[in-house]
């Protein structure tokens, strides 16, 4: 099924706007004018970005912003095909490099005590990774402790 990524991201921003407001946070969505259409499952794509933006809100300080940038790219890094790149960047606590390789494992959480107070199961990123792989995509995580994190999803365009 063709999935318009701009539509998905607008929908997720709507879903999470109240949660962001409660933390005095702004969700800034930037989508390129051109249509970024992939082939896949709209509900699963919604789940991916709901998990990523939920994390960006949860693990950031009150009053900061989350930027979501969506753009067309001519050539994916993992596949000789054009694609869509969606980056979710926050100005949160950041993640120490030592944790990055295991972050998408099921139930992996950095701060067990903090996680208990925040709820959740530690499955969010494992689900994200699974769905992205099923759509022949990739996820890249860049982060600096104390500065923030960017989760970048790369997906092939609809043929």
Tell me the β-bridge partners of 157. Answer: 38
Binding flag, residue 124, Mg ion (CB under 5 A): yes
CB 86 within 8 A of CB 68: yes
| Cα(30)–Cα(10) distance, integer angstroms | 10
Residue showing tokens 């991916």: 48
In 3D, which of 50, 43, 40 has the Cα closest to residue 17? 50
- Mask 18-57, x = binds Mg ion (CB under 5 A)? -------------------------------------x--
Q: Which range touches ligand ATP (CB under 6 A), out of 4-12, 18-26, 68-76, 103-111?
A: 103-111
CB 149 within 8 A of CB 90: yes
Q: Which range touches ligand ATP (CB under 6 A), out of 1-9, 12-20, 35-43, 50-58?
A: 50-58
List the single partner that 76 binds among ligand ATP, Mg ion, none, CB under 5 to 8 Å by kind: none
Instruction: Say how many residues touch ligand ATP, by CB under 6 A.
Output: 22
Binding flag, residue 115, ligand ATP (CB under 6 A): yes
Region of residue 135 (phi > 0: left; psi between -120 and 50: alpha; otherwise: beta): alpha
From candidates 95, 139, 153, 155, binder to ligand ATP by CB under 6 A: 95
Collapsing DSSP states into helix, strand and coil, what is residue 142?
strand
Residues that bind ligand ATP (CB under 6 A): 51, 55-56, 59, 90, 92-93, 95, 103, 108-111, 115, 120-126, 149
Residues that bind Mg ion (CB under 5 A): 55, 124
């Amino acid at each position: 099924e063709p999935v318009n990524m701009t539509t998905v991201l607008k929908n997720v921003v709507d879903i999470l706007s109240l949660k962001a407001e409660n933390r005095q946070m702004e969700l800034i969505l930037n989508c390129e004018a051109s249509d970024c259409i992939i082939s896949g499952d709209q509900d699963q794509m919604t789940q991916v970005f709901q998990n990523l933006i939920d994390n960006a809100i949860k693990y950031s300080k009150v009053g900061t912003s989350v930027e979501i940038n969506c753009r067309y790219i001519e050539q994916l890094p993992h596949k000789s095909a054009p694609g869509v790149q969606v980056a979710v960047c926050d100005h949160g606590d950041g993640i120490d490099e030592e944790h990055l390789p295991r972050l998408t494992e099921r139930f992996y959480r950095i701060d067990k005590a903090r996680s208990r107070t925040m709820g959740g199961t530690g499955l969010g990123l494992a689900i994200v990774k699974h769905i992205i792989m099923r759509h022949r995509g990739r996820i890249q995580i860049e982060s600096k402790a104390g500065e923030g994190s960017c989760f970048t999803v790369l997906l092939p365009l609809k043929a």
